């Protein structure tokens, strides 16, 4: 039995719950530039599982069952997803044009990244970043 993930799958892959997976697939493509790579129907014919990719990253999507809830249904944030992109300012403009709820505008961070935050229609928080400079760990000091 193989011990590693399939060749086309990263070792760590977030799995996010969306009540409307089909709508999420379209929105994530339009707003964030993800590309659909897999769509599997559920027993009722709607999408039960899907996968999207951005560069070498993969996100899995599925519908929440009785035991699982997405952030929108919970009424709170359950995690943040941090994604590196080539041009964070251009990515920000794309997300804004697509109607993403902007949590924070692009800003240089003390640890060497420039990032912005956005909320998707079902409450997942996304942070998109571009590494702009190397900072030694001993020099990483958050603003007071």
Q: Return the SS3 of 25.
A: helix
Q: Which two tokens stand for residue 11?
A: 């070792």
pLDDT, tens only, 30-64: 999 999 999 999 888 889 899 999 999 999 999 88
pLDDT, tens only, 76-86: 888 899 999 99
Q: Which residues contact 103 (CB under 8 A, 6 or more apart)?
A: 116, 117, 118, 119, 125
Residue 63 pairs in a beta bridge with none
Q: In whole angstroms, what is the distance from residue 111 CA to residue 92 CA?
A: 20
- Per the prediction, the chain carries an average pLDDT of 90
C-alpha dist (Å) from residue 132 to 41, 66, 121:
41, 43, 29
pLDDT, tens only, 97-114: 999 999 999 999 999 999
- Ranges assigned E (strand) in 29-90: 35-41, 47-54, 57-62, 80-84
Bridge-based pairing state of the strands 113-119 and 125-131: antiparallel
pLDDT at 3 over 60: no
Q: How many CA atoms lie within 13 A of 133 on its CB side?
A: 10
Residue 21: CB atoms within 10 A of its CB come to 22
The pTM for the full model equals: 0.88
């Amino acid at each position: 039995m193989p011990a590693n993930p399939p060749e086309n799958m990263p070792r760590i892959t977030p799995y996010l719950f969306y009540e409307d997976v089909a709508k999420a697939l379209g929105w994530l493509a339009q707003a964030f530039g993800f590309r659909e790579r897999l769509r599997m129907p559920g027993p009722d014919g709607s999408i039960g599982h899907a996968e999207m990719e951005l560069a070498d990253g993969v996100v899995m999507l599925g519908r929440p069952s009785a035991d699982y809830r997405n952030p929108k249904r919970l009424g709170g944030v359950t995690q943040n997803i941090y994604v590196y992109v080539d041009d964070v300012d251009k990515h920000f403009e794309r997300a804004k044009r697509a109607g993403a709820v902007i949590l924070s505008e692009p800003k240089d961070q003390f640890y060497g990244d420039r990032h912005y935050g956005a909320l998707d229609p079902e409450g997942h928080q996304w942070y998109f970043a571009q590494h702009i400079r190397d900072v030694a760990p001993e020099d990483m000091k958050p603003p007071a």
